[in-house]
Amino acid sequence: MNEKIIAGNFKSNLNRKQTSDYLSKLSLLKSKHKIFIFPSISSMPSNDYDNITIGTQNCYPAASGAFTGEITLEHLEELNINTILIGHSERRNLFFESDKVCAEKFAFFKERDFCIFYCIGEDLATRKAKKERDFLSRQLDFIDTNYSKLVIAYEPIWAIGTGVNASLEQIGECMEFLKSRTNAAIIYGGSVNENNSSEILDITDGILVGSASLDINKFHQILRSKE
Ligand code: PGA
């Protein structure tokens, strides 16, 4: 199997010490896949591992300034971080980040040559109404889908943190549709774990793993699923 993108999104879990211990162990593991870890902001180390790319879960699109509670580009530069997650459904829903806000972040970090993981995905009502393609297409209309350092993370909202992953058929259909819209790598996220990762990797360019990435043993199993 070709090299895949295997990304762990720690969200607001694992403190500084736990993250550092985790990354020390992970850095010793051999994998042919491209590993990305998005730690919580206060646990973010420098991006200087050989086999792991550290990315940020969020950043305000400015060099520095009066943006209470946010970090800015200067903080990332100090840590040599040039990978960012934009548009995660938790940021869209809990922190009211609209498509327009996500697009502004995208434009800012594209300008600075970042690798951008751009998350899109429909809610359950949209899926039930069979309108997911229109929905995903509209989300993509806000960004430059030809950007060479773009990774699209397809994460149906109803599958995130619920233990209900999309079926292979549903994932496959969306992959096909998204491939018709962009040449970017397309990964899947939503209740991926050590038991379903292998078959999902068969039909995607990679996976974005939330809760199952918090346990290094599970994440290791996921990494090994296609060795
Ligand atoms: P989950 O989260 O694996 O816990 O469903 C995925 C994500 O939010 O990226």
155 belongs to the catalytic site: yes
Distance from the alpha carbon of residue 227 to the mean position of ligand 1, in angstroms? 23
Distance from the alpha carbon of residue 26 to the mean position of ligand 1, in angstroms? 19
Q: Compute φ and ψ for 198, nearest 5 degrees.
A: -60, -50
Q: pLDDT-derived band of residue 30, with 50, 70 and 90 as boundaries?
A: confident
Q: pLDDT-derived band of residue 162, with 50, 70 and 90 as boundaries?
A: confident
Query: Is 5 near ligand 1, meaning CB less than 6 Å away?
Result: no
Residue of the CA atom closest to atom 6 of ligand 1: 210
Query: Is 215 near ligand 1, meaning CB less than 6 Å away?
Result: no
Pairwise CA distance, residues 188 & 13, whole Å? 21
Nearest to 150 by CA among 84, 99, 206: 84
Record the tokens describing residue 147, joined without a space: 């950007």
Tokens 């599958």 label which residue?
159
Distance from the alpha carbon of residue 80 to the mean position of ligand 1, in angstroms? 25
Find the catalytic residue in 33, 88, 90, 122.
88
Distance from the alpha carbon of residue 194 to the mean position of ligand 1, in angstroms? 13
Nearest to 13 by CA among 214, 226, 227, 223: 214
Asked if pLDDT for residue 38 goes beyond 70, the answer is yes
Query: Is 190 near ligand 1, meaning CB less than 6 Å away?
Result: yes
Residue of the CA atom closest to atom 3 of ligand 1: 210
227 belongs to the catalytic site: no
Nearest to 150 by CA among 107, 103, 114, 198: 114
Pairwise CA distance, residues 164 & 158, whole Å? 8
Query: Is 161 near ligand 1, meaning CB less than 6 Å away?
Result: yes
Q: Compute φ and ψ for 121, nearest 5 degrees.
A: 165, 145
Q: pLDDT-derived band of residue 225, with 50, 70 and 90 as boundaries?
A: confident
Q: What is the pLDDT of residue 11?
A: 98
Record the tokens describing residue 164, joined without a space: 């209900």
Q: What is the pLDDT of residue 227?
A: 67
Q: What is the pLDDT of residue 165?
A: 81
Q: Compute φ and ψ for 8, nearest 5 degrees.
A: -110, 125
With beta carbons less than 8 A apart as the criterion, state whether 116 and 150 touch: yes
Tokens 């751009």 label which residue?
118
Distance from the alpha carbon of residue 88 to the mean position of ligand 1, in angstroms? 10
* 78-121 per-position pLDDT tens digit: 999 999 999 999 999 999 999 999 999 999 999 999 999 999 99
Tell me the mean pLDDT in the region 29-52.
96
Q: Work out which ligand 1 atom sits closest to the CA atom of 211.
A: 4
Residue of the CA atom closest to atom 9 of ligand 1: 210
Q: What is the pLDDT of residue 164?
A: 83
